[in-house]
Chain A
Amino acid sequence: MTSTDQQPFLSVRDLKVHFSTEDGVVKAVDGLSFDLAKGKTLGIVGESGSGKSVTNLTILGLHDRDRTSIDGEILLDGKELLTASERELEQLRGNKMSMIFQDALASLSPYHTIGKQIGETYRKHTGASKKEARERAIEMLRRVGIPQPDVRVDDYPHQFSGGMRQRAMIAMALVCDPELLIADEPTTALDVTVQAQIMDLLKDLQQEFGTAIIFITHDLGVIADIADDVLVMYGGRCVERGTKKEVLRAPQHPYTWGLLGSMPSLEGPVDVPLSPIPGSPPSLLNPPSGCRFHPRCTFAEKVQGGLCSTEQPLLDITDGRGSACHLTDDQRREFFADYAATRSH
């Protein structure tokens, strides 16, 4: 999000994704906008049900079209994705944009060899022969650090360990050198040492190919490691946005403070209790009025006129930095100082 004058690689504008269910309309994403430049990583943080995964399924066009109503626009390299036909999307998926999922075992077919699954995407988009596809699969497996790729290419997913499966998924996602990679909690199911390997791998590959990455996670530590920019989501909306440094060092939104205060650390004092956010995330079937965070926000009563429960705060973004909160700048400075003091004593 460096320059505003030229067209960003990916641009999402006022995206609204609503699902109709038996119980009513679920407003999974409610007015989300962001940009992403080539070679950059956007980290999306949020808890379960904050709409982070839905956003990305929508970008890929993987939502259920019959039950979803979508508003807004998604431009990938100038191409509108929301109005694109299924055929056009098929051309883009796996080729120009691709995705890594959380559960690698569930995302790989147990009946086909790893090599075949990686090669399939390649053959579809390049028209390569089986032999070429196999060569390509071996090359990709080598690149993601699978030992003996020429042997392992004929293995089935169950013969791989968790970390290796995730690597195979990355190989599959990157086989056509996509320009946009969406990684939805790719390391959540992995152990920390393997998680560190996978994140290093993604960073290396990004440097090599200049891929734009959207990295979805609930772990702010992972964000600190991999992201350039951060978008914090709550209840289907963006509550805060900025560079990694801005968001982690000087968070503006009470929800972000709460998230950071909830996380135990490897450093610092041990006997200070954590400062969790009270309550639980809202139901998107019947979201709270006004600011969706207000029922859990300890600062809501400090805002004049009870604005928080009646009026939706606007996301005030300048130069890619901003938050959606009714607190005045002075109040925010004061409360943040208090918050920072409790975190560091």
Chain B
Amino acid sequence: MSNTNPLLDVTGLTKHFPVMGGFPFKRKIGAVQAVDGLDFQVAEGESLGLVGESGCGKSTTGRLITRLLEPTGGSIKYRGQDITHAGRKQLAPVRSEIQMIFQDPYASLNPRQTVGKIISGPMEINGINPPGGHEKRVRELLETVGLNPEHYNRFPHEFSGGQRQRIGVARALALEPKLIVADEPVSALDVSIQAQVVNLLQELQQDLGIAFVFIAHDLAVVRHFSQRVAVMYLGKIVEIADREDLYDNPRHPYTRALLSAVPEATADDIPARERIRLTGDVPSPLNPPSGCRFRTRCWKATEKCATEAPPLVQVAGNKEGHLTACHYPETHDTVPAPRLSKDVAA
């Protein structure tokens, strides 16, 4: 990873959604701390995976990067240019370089527009007239994503889920972006179709050199697709590392627990990794635990964890670029976690 000139540089990114309530006049009574102080970079042509469970803020992060949401704090720099609070006009050229692929291939395509219209939409909005006209370009794009160019005049309902997701990919490619934010692009698809779309995205990343922020909850898919992976928990990055480091040498207890919870399709009697069973649920981001946010479910938590939030640093034993936010990072020979009693979680 080259830190010299990252494509995207995010520091201290924060998004708090106000919660309104009270009677008779509504006022702010709290804030959902969806994303709270994220630092990460994405290099050109690199894929960064964001993983975490529901409510950890990974989708919010994607929406902040694409500026579909206004950040509460922190900064987002794209190619050195600060776009944190950039206005519409200033954003326009950046937006054509940062595109998004959405999760739901049914909801993210306008049912009343033809495929041709959907894919050429971004070009029209940005006033781009490719040589040979829009139609020629759209046909090329359809071919790139593995669809029949003859289907130019069809409507989304005539396609299956996997094909629709390909249309979404073609639309994202229309402006030749440098960065694509893909928010759970394959989770709505059947296993066999999922693999088709993952392979397509991987080819695009390699052939066109597009950088990706790949948001997913499926750790195996992220491992397959992203060179660098960040694990999020309750609005914070708890661990970020190169793929091999993260999966082979997880240092944060949460990363370890998350990996051990993934069922693997093997029929071995001995599981590949020791099982760590977390109890309870993720606490509410409305009122996150003090100190380390994972401490309420962590088997290692002490007083220190409750008072002091661990910084995201390169802890001893980590390779270059492997950052962990934990006071008591895991080591390879750590004794497997005991099952927590149920009252701890309550």
Contacts and interface: CB of A to CB of B under 8 A. Distances in A.
Interface of A: 47-48, 145, 147-148, 161-164, 191-197, 199-200, 218-225, 244-245, 248-249, 258-267, 270, 273-278, 280-281
Contact of A266 (B160, B262, B279, B342): B262
A280 B196 CA distance: 10
Nearest to B284: A161
Contacts of B309: none
B222 to A, nearest CB: 9
Contact of A248 (B221, B266, B281): B266
Given A192-B258, A262-B192, A266-B272, A224 B266 contact: yes
A224 B263 contact: yes
A261 B265 contact: no
Given A193-B261, A248-B266, A280-B193, 15 more contacts: A47-B190, A47-B191, A48-B190, A147-B342, A147-B343, A192-B217, A192-B262, A193-B53, A196-B263, A197-B279, A245-B267, A263-B220, A264-B198, A264-B221, A266-B247
Given A191-B54, A221-B262, A265-B220, A197 B277 contact: yes
Contacts of A192: 53, 217, 219, 258, 261-262
B296 to A, nearest CB: 12
23 contacts: A47-B191, A147-B346, A163-B281, A164-B281, A192-B53, A192-B261, A197-B277, A218-B190, A220-B191, A223-B265, A259-B191, A260-B265, A262-B195, A263-B265, A264-B218, A266-B219, A266-B259, A266-B272, A270-B224, A270-B244, A274-B195, A276-B196, A281-B190
Contacts of A221: 262-265
Interface in B290-346: 342-343, 345-346
Interface string B188-205: 001111111011001000
B243 interface: yes
B30 to A, nearest CB: 18
A183 to B, nearest CB: 14
B162 interface: yes
B164 to A, nearest CB: 11
A72 B266 CA distance: 34
A220 to B, nearest CB: 4
